[in-house]
Structure 1
C-alpha cells in the first residue's frame, strides 16, 4: 500500500523525505512536487526502476524520461558537452523551469531508453524536490500522469492515476505554476526550443542571442465534401529570426512530458 506525507507539516515532511529516499534506493516509484507540475520518479541508475516508471506512465523506450538533479555539480557529471550556451543558461535559469537536452557522458551506467546519446536535465526550484534529490542523487522523472491524461497539479490527481503503482506520495499542496518546463536542445550549434514552456523565447534569446523557435505543427484542415478538392495544410511560416543564420529548420516539437 502506498504512503502519503503532508509536507506542510515539518514532522511529516522529514519522515516523507526519509521514506521517499529509502523507496528510491529500493527501486520503487515516488511522486514528488516540482515548480511546474507533480512528477513521478525513480533512481536514474536503476534500469528496472526506470522500466517500472515507463510502465506506470504507459510509455515505451522511445520516450525516455528527463533527469532531475539537486545540484549543478550533479548535472555536470551527467553531461558530456553543454555546448556554447549551456553554462550561461544554467546560471540564468537554474534552479527553475528549464530542461536542457545535452550530449550525455558516455561512461554512465544507466538505461533511460532510446536517448540517442543525449540526456534531458533539469534542476527544479522546489524545496521538497531539491531536498530529496540531494539525498538520493539524480532521478529519472516524468510528469505525474498516465500518457494521454492531464498533468497532475495536485497529489490527489497523481494518486488517482497511479494508485499503488507508486509507493510514496509527497504532498506539497497545489502546484503554483502550471506551464511545463521549457525544453531546449543544446546538441546543435544554435539552441533549439523543443517545447515551449515557462521560460519564454525572449528570455532565452536574452542569454543566447539566436535561438531556433519551436516548430508549430499545422492545424488540420476541416473535412471537405466529395466535390471539393482537399488542400494540404502548410506549416506556419517561420521568420528568419526564428531560424537564425544556420539555415536549419526549427526542430520538431518534442512530445516528452518532462515536468
Structure 2
C-alpha cells in the first residue's frame, strides 16, 4: 500500500504509473473512495468490473480534473455548463452525450451513447488525475452492492488482493456518493447524493424530474450499498436482538447525528452501517427527513434494505 495522508509527489507519480499501465488504484474523493482505472483502456476498465464483481450493465463515472478535460470527450449544453460552473469541482456528476471518437472504453458507458462525468474536489484526487493525464473511470471502491468505502481501511476490507494500490487520504468529508443529473433533454435527478437536489434546482431555475426507468447511470440498482445484515427502516426503536441506527436525540447503538444534522448524518452513514454490520445483528434505522441530504441518505438506506438479487 502507498503511504498514508502525507503523500509525496513521487508516490502520486507511482500511482499514476500504475493507472497508465492498466492497473487499478483506489483513491479518496470528497464523497467516497473510488476504484480508478484508465477510462480509455478496455482491459483496464474490465479489471474494475472483475475486482468489484460488478454487473456489466451498470455504467461507471469518469473522473477528470476540470471541465476543460470533460469537454474533450463529452458535450456540455448550456445547462451543463451552468451546473459545471457552479458545482465543479464537487459532488455532482453530469450524464452527457459522448463525442464521436471520444476514445472512452465502451464498458464505461455500458453501451449507452452518454457518459457520466465528475470533477472531484479532493486535493489528492485532483493531484492523481493531473499526474495521470487521462480520464479515470472510478466507481466506489467496494465489492458491488456492498457498503461504499469512506476510508482506506474500508477499501482493503473489501478489495484486498484484487487491486494494485490504495492512496490513503483519510476519511471522506461528504460520505455519500455524488448527485447524478441527466440533461437529455430536460434535467432529471438520476441519483440523489452529496449535492442537495434543491441546490441544483436553484441553479437551473427549474424543478428536476425524478427518474423512473431503465438503468442509465451509476447507483440505480434496486439493491445496492448493502450490509450483510437485514435492515428495517423507519423504526422507532430496536426490537430484541437488533442494533439501532439513530437520528436525532435518544438512545441508539450508533447515531447518525444526535443533533439531527443531515450533513453529519451523511458523513457517518456508511461508516456506521459497516460498524453495525460487524456486530452480526439485524439493523433497525430511525426515520430520516426526506429533504436536502436526507433525500440521498434515504435513497441509500432503501437500497441497502431492498431484497438481494438471487
Q: Tell me, in whole angstroms, the C-alpha distance in 1 between the residues paired with 2:120 and 2:39.
A: 16
Q: Tell me, in whole angstroms, the C-alpha distance in 2 between the residues paired with 1:211 and 1:130.
A: 31
Query: What's the offset of the Cα at 1:128?
Result: 0.5
Structure-2-length-normalised TM-score: 0.65
Query: What's the offset of the Cα at 1:216?
Result: 7.9
- The 3-state SS of whatever aligns with 1:4 is coil
**Residue 42 of structure 2 is aligned to residue 47 of structure 1:** yes
1:162-181 matches, cutoff 5 A:
162-181=159-178
Instruction: Report if aligned partners of 1:78, 1:105 keep a CA contact under 8 Å in 2.
Output: yes
Q: Tell me, in whole angstroms, the C-alpha distance in 1 between the residues paired with 2:197 and 2:104.
A: 32
Q: Tell me, in whole angstroms, the C-alpha distance in 1 between the residues paired with 2:65 and 2:72.
A: 12
**Residue 106 of structure 2 is aligned to residue 106 of structure 1:** no
Instruction: Report if aligned partners of 2:74, 2:102 keep a CA contact under 8 Å in 1.
Output: no
Instruction: Report if aligned partners of 2:188, 2:211 keep a CA contact under 8 Å in 1.
Output: no
Instruction: Report if aligned partners of 2:201, 2:208 keep a CA contact under 8 Å in 1.
Output: no
Instruction: Report if aligned partners of 1:196, 1:214 keep a CA contact under 8 Å in 2.
Output: no
- The 3-state SS of whatever aligns with 2:3 is strand
**Residue 60 of structure 2 is aligned to residue 65 of structure 1:** yes
- The 3-state SS of whatever aligns with 2:93 is strand
Q: Partner of 1:201 in structure 2?
A: 197
Is there any run of 5+ residues in structure 1 with no aligned partner, and where?
219-252, 254-259
Instruction: Report if aligned partners of 1:44, 1:112 keep a CA contact under 8 Å in 2.
Output: no
Q: Partner of 2:120 in structure 1?
A: 124
Is there any run of 5+ residues in structure 2 with no aligned partner, and where?
214-221, 223-298, 300-310
Q: Partner of 1:91 in structure 2?
A: 85
Deviations 1:139-198 (A, max 9, x none): 00100111121000100110111112211110011112112110000122x200000111
Q: Tell me, in whole angstroms, the C-alpha distance in 2 between the residues paired with 1:78 and 1:155.
A: 30
CA RMSD of aligned residues (A): 2.2
Deviations 1:225-250 (A, max 9, x none): xxxxxxxxxxxxxxxxxxxxxxxxxx
Whose RCO is larger (CA < 8 A, sep 6+)?
1
Alignment equivalent of 1:182, drawn from 176, 179, 183: 179
Q: Tell me, in whole angstroms, the C-alpha distance in 1 between the residues paired with 2:112 and 2:211.
A: 21
**Residue 124 of structure 2 is aligned to residue 147 of structure 1:** no
Query: What's the offset of the Cα at 1:15?
Result: 2.9
Structure-1-length-normalised TM-score: 0.78
Instruction: Report if aligned partners of 2:32, 2:150 keep a CA contact under 8 Å in 1.
Output: yes
Deviations 1:64-111 (A, max 9, x none): 21100012111011113x233000000000000000001011212232
Size of the aligned set, in residue pairs, is: 214
Q: Tell me, in whole angstroms, the C-alpha distance in 2 between the residues paired with 1:120 and 1:170.
A: 23
Instruction: Report if aligned partners of 2:94, 2:116 keep a CA contact under 8 Å in 1.
Output: yes
